[in-house]
Amino acid sequence: MAVVGIHSAGHMGAGLGHALRSGGATVLTTTQGRSDRTARLAAEAGLDVVASLDEVVRRADVVLVVTPPGAAGHAARELRAAATRTGADPLVADLNAISPSTVDEVAGILAPLDFVDGSISGPPPTVRPGARLYFSGPRAGEVAGLPWRDVEPIVLGERPGTASALKMCTASVYKGLVGLYAQAMRVAETHGVLDEVLADLTGSGYDGREYSVAVATAASKAHRYVPEMREIAATQRAAGLTPALFEAFAEVYAQIAGTELAGEDPESVSRTIGADEVVRRLR
């Protein structure tokens, strides 16, 4: 069976590791230098925790990289150094939320290791099954063919950057809407019309309860969203469009990242949190 390494096993990485382990793969990670939370998530997912990244790279057939967008280049350099030290040559799949131009940079850092561009749409499968995993590149089929459970792997073709381009488009809608809703809630509370605004939006299909939870969850990851918004802006600039919209969303999430609500971990956000509490903790 396949041996898959995870770099790094945070909320999403541990969830993907669990999906592979459930399918029969051996899944390795290291928590060296990582937080107690990462160690807990890896243990809860049943991953095999080894002493170092060198051991992950040496033993794994495929290494999946699932870091915050701003750490993609650093993670690639760490993997390339580990491969040099160990003489190993695993297939590396980068699943970070990055622009196609950043994909090119990551592939260049990893060379001559073979590289697959990947992206994720949906929450970790340990939270809700059904996330879609997109892959592109000459060896994308090998990563899609791993023994996944509770996710849907999709191959988009042989050109790296395609999977990430898709992510930049879908994330602009999903996270842009949540950021927009957060701004509307905060302004509405300032003017004393929060309940009325939520009632109107709910009547138009933007469920207030659902979006309150979504805003709270986004706040817990807002520090990660800031570089992701900038990656989206760069992708839109490269397409000949204005980057201003998502540069502004980067500012929105940067402000949210400094609030009390941002101190939560994604897995600890209450599914019943109300709009009043969300807005209070976003002050």
Q: Which pLDDT score, from 0 to 100, does residue 58 have?
A: 98
The residue ranges of every structural domain in the chain are 3-158, 165-281
Does the domain at 165-281 match CATH 3.30.70? Answer given as: no
- Which residues, at least 6 apart from 242, have a Cβ–Cβ distance to it below 8 Å? 236
% the chain with pLDDT above 70: 100
CA-wise closest residue to 232 among 214, 257, 252, 211: 252
1, pLDDT greater than 80: no
Could you report the per-residue pLDDT of 140-156, keeping only the tens digit for each? 999 999 999 999 999 99
Burial of residue 165 (number of CB atoms within 10 Å: 0-12, 13-18, 19+)? buried
d(CA 223, CA 10): 14
CATH of the domain spanning 3-158: 3.40.50.720
Q: Which pLDDT score, from 0 to 100, does residue 214 have?
A: 97
Evaluate whether 64 touches 90 at the Cβ level (below 8 Å): no
Q: Can you tell me the mean pLDDT for 235-249?
A: 98
Could you report the per-residue pLDDT of 64-122, keeping only the tens digit for each? 999 999 999 999 999 999 999 999 999 999 999 999 999 999 999 999 999 999 999 99
Q: Which pLDDT score, from 0 to 100, does residue 150 have?
A: 97
203, pLDDT greater than 80: yes
Q: Which pLDDT score, from 0 to 100, does residue 8 have?
A: 85
d(CA 127, CA 52): 27
What residue has token string 């399918």? 23
Could you report the per-residue pLDDT of 13-67, keeping only the tens digit for each? 999 999 999 999 999 999 998 889 999 999 999 999 999 999 999 999 999 999 9
Backbone angles phi, psi at 48, to 5 degrees: -85, 110
Helix (H) or strand (E) holding 103: helix 100-110
Helix (H) or strand (E) holding 44: helix 36-44
Evaluate whether 54 touches 30 at the Cβ level (below 8 Å): no
CA-wise closest residue to 2 among 24, 34, 33, 32: 24
d(CA 52, CA 44): 19
Question: Rg of the chain over CA atoms, in angstroms?
Answer: 19
User: Hey, what amino acid is at 200?
Assistant: D
CA-wise closest residue to 185 among 281, 105, 88, 93: 281
CA-wise closest residue to 212 among 268, 275, 269: 275
pTM: 0.95
